Amino acid sequence: MSSTTAFIYAHPDDETFLSSCLIRQLADQGDPPSLLLATKGDAGKKNGHVSHLTNDELASVRVKEMDKAAEILGISVVEHLGYPDGKLGLVNEAEAVEAIISFINRHKPESVFTFPKDGGNGHPDHVAISRLTTLAVTSGRCPSVQRLYYHASGTLLSQGCLPAVTVDTEPDWRVKAEALRAHASQIFAIERYFGDLSVFPEQRRFEAFILAWENGVSFPPAT
């Protein structure tokens, strides 16, 4: 199934943290996006009811949680590259770029969304997936893609970048909270970031993205 938008992230839950209301809006407009995740989140923090799991067991829990979140958000297809969580920066670059190009050419998106070059929060897997996705999109081998967007991290905004896409999460906060709760094994990290999910977090109000590349032209800053 082809959709006009693809999201490419590192871990199950990145899509919900950064772009759940944007994804739900696209799905509601009849254009459900596709999602590619580089890792299954197998090295994620294990709290509470998942503390006894091995990394492989945690990976299968997180894939199921991701399926549930995908249903809530209206994602058309979720694919997993299955690279080791926490070590995405160390994988064979050419091979990983090839896998991303293959995903893009099967789903033929016009727009691709990912992390900014600094990974937003500096997580090495976030930095790596930004680099790998940028290499894939700008390789000249993904003819469907016209635009690449980076999540508007605090760093980009403080450098004066203006978001090209901004979604107010207040009207759909309950949907976002439901998708966040679907990632139950990560609930402590989620609540550390968003606070109590039953309360709308004004300080995390907007999902915003800057245009990083359009039809062969890259935009600054390159950080």
- Residues in contact with Zn ion by CB under 5 A are 10-11, 14
CB neighbours of residue 143 within 10 Å: 9
Q: Which is nearer to Zn ion, 85 or 172 (CB)?
A: 85
CB neighbours of residue 106 within 10 Å: 12
**Closest distance between Zn ion and the C-beta of residue 40, in Å?**
12
Q: Which is nearer to Zn ion, 84 or 110 (CB)?
A: 84
Q: Which is nearer to Zn ion, 14 or 207 (CB)?
A: 14
CB neighbours of residue 144 within 10 Å: 15
The two structure tokens encoding residue 82 = 């299955």
Nearest residue to 15 via CA among 82, 73, 81, 86: 73
Q: Which is nearer to Zn ion, 10 or 142 (CB)?
A: 10
**Closest distance between Zn ion and the C-beta of residue 126, in Å?**
6
**Closest distance between Zn ion and the C-beta of residue 140, in Å?**
28
Q: Which is nearer to Zn ion, 14 or 65 (CB)?
A: 14
**Closest distance between Zn ion and the C-beta of residue 123, in Å?**
6
- Residues written for the chain: 223
Q: How far apart are CA 138 and CA 215, in angstroms?
A: 9
The two structure tokens encoding residue 80 = 């997993």
**Closest distance between Zn ion and the C-beta of residue 8, in Å?**
12
Q: Which is nearer to Zn ion, 62 or 147 (CB)?
A: 62
Q: How far apart are CA 65 and CA 19, in angstroms?
A: 17
Q: How far apart are CA 76 and CA 190, in angstroms?
A: 24
Pairing of strands 206-214, 147-151: antiparallel
Q: Which residue is nearest to Zn ion (CB)?
A: 11
CB neighbours of residue 174 within 10 Å: 11
**Closest distance between Zn ion and the C-beta of residue 11, in Å?**
4
